[in-house]
Structure 1
Amino acid sequence: MLKEALLQMFSFLPQVRSPTYRVPFKEKLKWTGVILILYFVLTQIPLFGLSATSVDQFAQLRAVMAGSFGSIVTLGIGPIVTASIILQLLVGGKVLDLDLSQPEDKAFFQGTQKLLAMIFTLFEGGVLILTGSLQASSPGLEWLMILQVAIGGILIIFLDEVVSKWGFGSGVGLFIAAGVSAQIIIGAFNPLATSVSPGVPSGAIPQFIYLLTTSQPDFSILIPVFSLIVVFLVVVYAQSMRVEIPLSFGGVKGARGKYPLKFIYASNMPVILTSALLLNVQLFAALFQKLGFPILGTISNGQAVSGIAYYLTTPTGISNIFTNPLGVLFYGLVFIGSCILFAWLWVELSNIGPKDVAKQLHGMGMQIPGFRSSRTQFERILKKYIPAITVMGGAAVGLLALGADLTGALGGGTGVLLTVGIVYQLYEEIAKEQLMDVHPMLRNFLGE
């Protein structure tokens, strides 16, 4: 009864209309491009009333959260991902008994996620401003700033919904890739000088060339660029790793193929969810300190200086291994462990577990050579692979993100890892859409 009442309430929430037809490739491309431009426009709209002395408490997670500090989209995708974390834990722990393969349960999940994201937009914006992470330039402007942050956060929620229904991939991934790509381009090629070093370009490559022509070259300036290249190559290699299960089509003699199970089976979602979890630890640490109960640690000048919040601050730079080895070890264990947990939850909730994949392949008339064609047999074989690669892939992507951050790569190591994965998935989706536009009969075969 409660579920039906909530579903009825969700119908009153503003929502983006779902397409009633298969959206053509060019239309998807158009909507993806329009939303991307709107996102960049929003990042350039400053918060009215923000003090110039404000410090970005979440600078190390900024690339992952796809927010622009000091703009109305300071929160980025934080509220959306936080809502997703809570729902995944509730559904995974069977507190909410939902079968996401059923349309009604899926609609309930999506409606609950949107409502929670809106609530967290107000909550996180309020905490940032009332705890002083976003300082008002004069008393009395705090509530106006909360309103601006809330509007920006809600706009991001709906832009994400537009991309998910009318474009390629998801808005969450698109905004992360856009933000990190902008950071990489600016960090590597920006020819403009800063007030700190007048006359010296701020971009790594122009700065190195400038120093090369005026004095002794400083090769350390290029370390973030080389780190970026190394991280990129390692992530591309990891994305290409897969286990291939041989298949044959029961209705066509001699027709054979392979079903690929990617090593990073849960994609990069575990890293996004884990980063959002760490962001909320910092957020609640600031809130509890403001209330006089610093149980999660102490925040000073926008940085955690003690407690759990300090040990769960992302370490950047290889020097941290030598200056704070226990801190890096603790952070690494928590980060990788959380990635494994969220990888398992994501596989279960995304209908890509052994049971769901077995149902899909059996329904397509496939079978594994040497085994009788049955859904149970498919599930038994897939259970040997999917749980193992889910755990190993979750651990690997967490380790890659940790190592990438320690290299100090441009765009943030975790940001680069996510961007490579997101762009790779977008490429695959775009290639699939183009193929189906050229060969419409494939849509029937693939169930589109």
Structure 2
Amino acid sequence: MESLDPILERLITIKRPSRPLPLSTRLMWTALAALVYIVMTITPLWGIPRVQPSGPLYNIFYNPLVSTIFGTTYGTWAQLGIGPIVVAGIVLEILQFSGLLPFDLEDKKDRLRFSAFQKLLALIMAAGETAASIAMGAFGHLTPLQALAVFIQLIAATQIVILLDDMIAKGWGFGGSAINLVILLSVTRTFFVDLFSWNLPSVPGVNAADYPAMQLPLGFLPALAVAIYNTIHGAAPSIADLVFRQLPPPYGTSLPDIVSFAATLALAYVIVYIEQMHVNIPAAYTQYWGIRINIPLRFMYVSVIPIIFTAYSLILAEQIVAGFATLTGGISPALALLLTAMMPARILSPDYIVLHILLYAALATVFAWLWGQIGGIGPDEYAKNLVESGLHVPGFRQSEKIVARVLRRPINTLILLSGMIAGTLAALGDIFGVWGSGIGLILLVEIGLGYYMQILQEGLMEVYPGLRRVIGQ
């Protein structure tokens, strides 16, 4: 990889601040990063025709669920979102922990090379995705000049996102990464629309006059206000029409209603409760004889990565199956049911419910296990961190292999359980029509809790600076 140093050294980067910044300053820079990304989501790409997007790439990369996860907005500078950074990071993590890359992350220079290589790979992936989107007509018909303009704009947009991520990661901002910030903004935007939008719902091929649910505003609060007013004055649509706003087949579209509002609150509470659960592992300091502590392992040991993989895999599989059905000119009832079960929807059919939950739970469990083995979060890596911190499990020698053997059973169990529970909760969220989808709600709660706990910790450190020195020791 040293042969790439001339290229890696020329990548635009952000320098670390000369001294640690106070929490208020870091929050200010984080807010600025959020503002920059919000502006990107409303800045249209120059050169693309204003046509309805279509094509297989659009269906995969700009699916509403993928857009929520990766923060993409079609036809804007946020067209690619954080997708290139996330995919590049996951690919490099897998390759590194599989021993296929020559980086020694214990060495400072190699850590810098690894970080720079991730930025370079993200730019390469952005270029490839943009070129493929243009070639497959995701932007409609473009002249060579328009295609070049779109390509340059999206590469520049990806570079901006990389710099925002670099800025936050190097201590200017808060939260450790712009990835969490963009996901939080994306899911929050969906919640904001579902809660406050005054626009009337619009579904292609549906006459709003035929469905009372379509005659109320899209947002829950405006719809509730209109429904209460109509109920008081004996008009329609009333509160009864807001309880369950579901269009019948073949549309199947669900709109924000009382059921989805209650389901969102209930599932959010369940996720918060589970996120606070821990499994304690007894440990002791090697240097200080007799001092014992409990190391809390999160019950949801790994959840975000598996459900992201699950959602993306199901969307990709759905497009492949749909394409196959188009080529063959037909589809069997069993395959049609499987195709429907792959997509998040509020469908109260026993077949769909069972199959959707099984698909999500099984895939999330498989991806959780794979990520636990190659993502650097397994018992071997955890044992290494414990030993390097001067800790050991009481009753056992201070050896990485012995500690790893002790931790293998609880950690592997938590990996499997957390994947299965995350997949099941995500599927249940889809079935009950929670806002932002089940996966979006899990991401929102996890990232929000992470920010909340970090703000509390940073605030405590500023009030009591001595705690930082104690923890540092």
Give yes or no for TM over 0.5.
Answer: yes
**How many Å apart are 1:24 and its aligned residue?**
2.5
**Higher Cα Rg, which structure:** 2
| 1:51-98 deviation digits (Å, cap 9, x = unpaired) | 232255222321111112221111111111221232233234332244
Which residue does the alignment assign to 2:332? none
Q: Are the structure 2 counterparts of residues 338 and 250 from structure 1 closer, same or farther at C-alpha, using a change threshold of 3 Å? A: closer
Which residue does the alignment assign to 2:21? 23
Alignment of 1:341-360 (within 5 A): 341-346=370-375, 348=376, 352-360=377-385
**How many Å apart are 1:38 and its aligned residue?**
0.9
Matched, 1:164 2:180: no
- Structure 2: distance between partners of 1:278 and 1:157: 28
Amino acid at match of 2:100: V
Alignment of 1:108-257 (within 5 A): 108-136=113-141, 141-165=146-170, 166-169=172-175, 170-193=177-200, 200-214=216-230, 215=236, 216-217=238-239, 218=241, 219-220=243-244, 221-249=257-285, 255-257=291-293
Alignment of 1:354-373 (within 5 A): 354-371=379-396
Which residue does the alignment assign to 2:294? 258
Matched, 1:65 2:70: yes
The 3-state SS of whatever aligns with 1:105 is: helix
Amino acid at match of 2:226: Y
Matching residue within 421, 424, 434 for 2:459? 434
Which residue does the alignment assign to 2:434? 409
Higher RCO (C-alpha under 8 Å, 6+ residues apart): 1
**How many Å apart are 1:193 and its aligned residue?**
3.9
- Structure 2: distance between partners of 1:228 and 1:388: 28
Matched, 1:338 2:340: no
Q: Are the structure 2 counterparts of residues 326 and 133 from structure 1 closer, same or farther at C-alpha, using a change threshold of 3 Å? A: farther
- Structure 2: distance between partners of 1:435 and 1:37: 27
Q: Are the structure 2 counterparts of residues 407 and 341 from structure 1 closer, same or farther at C-alpha, using a change threshold of 3 Å? A: farther
Which residue does the alignment assign to 2:34? 36
The answer as to whether partners of 1:187 and 1:410 remain within 8 angstroms in 2 is yes
**How many Å apart are 1:36 and its aligned residue?**
0.8
Amino acid at match of 1:207: A
The answer as to whether partners of 2:357 and 2:428 remain within 8 angstroms in 1 is no
Between 91-100 and 194-203, report the one with greater CA deviation: 194-203
Matching residue within 5, 11, 14 for 2:12? 14
Structure 2: 5+ residue runs without aligned partners? 209-213, 231-235, 245-256, 330-334
Amino acid at match of 1:389: L
Which residue does the alignment assign to 1:389? 414
The answer as to whether partners of 2:197 and 2:219 remain within 8 angstroms in 1 is yes
CA-based RMSD? 3.5
Aligned-residue identity in percent: 28
| 1:406-441 deviation digits (Å, cap 9, x = unpaired) | 332111221111111111111222222222222222
**How many Å apart are 1:382 and its aligned residue?**
2.3
- Structure 2: distance between partners of 1:327 and 1:232: 20
Between 42-51 and 360-369, report the one with greater CA deviation: 360-369
The 3-state SS of whatever aligns with 1:244 is: strand
**How many Å apart are 1:39 and its aligned residue?**
1.0
- Structure 1: distance between partners of 2:12 and 2:87: 20
**How many Å apart are 1:282 and its aligned residue?**
7.8
The answer as to whether partners of 2:82 and 2:179 remain within 8 angstroms in 1 is yes
**How many Å apart are 1:132 and its aligned residue?**
2.3
**How many Å apart are 1:123 and its aligned residue?**
1.3
Which residue does the alignment assign to 2:343? 314
Q: Are the structure 2 counterparts of residues 313 and 78 from structure 1 closer, same or farther at C-alpha, using a change threshold of 3 Å? A: farther
- Structure 1: distance between partners of 2:282 and 2:30: 36
- Structure 2: distance between partners of 1:145 and 1:315: 31
The 3-state SS of whatever aligns with 2:72 is: coil
Q: Are the structure 2 counterparts of residues 96 and 171 from structure 1 closer, same or farther at C-alpha, using a change threshold of 3 Å? A: same
The answer as to whether partners of 1:274 and 1:342 remain within 8 angstroms in 2 is no
**How many Å apart are 1:119 and its aligned residue?**
0.8
Amino acid at match of 2:29: W
The answer as to whether partners of 2:426 and 2:437 remain within 8 angstroms in 1 is no
The answer as to whether partners of 1:227 and 1:407 remain within 8 angstroms in 2 is yes
Amino acid at match of 2:50: S
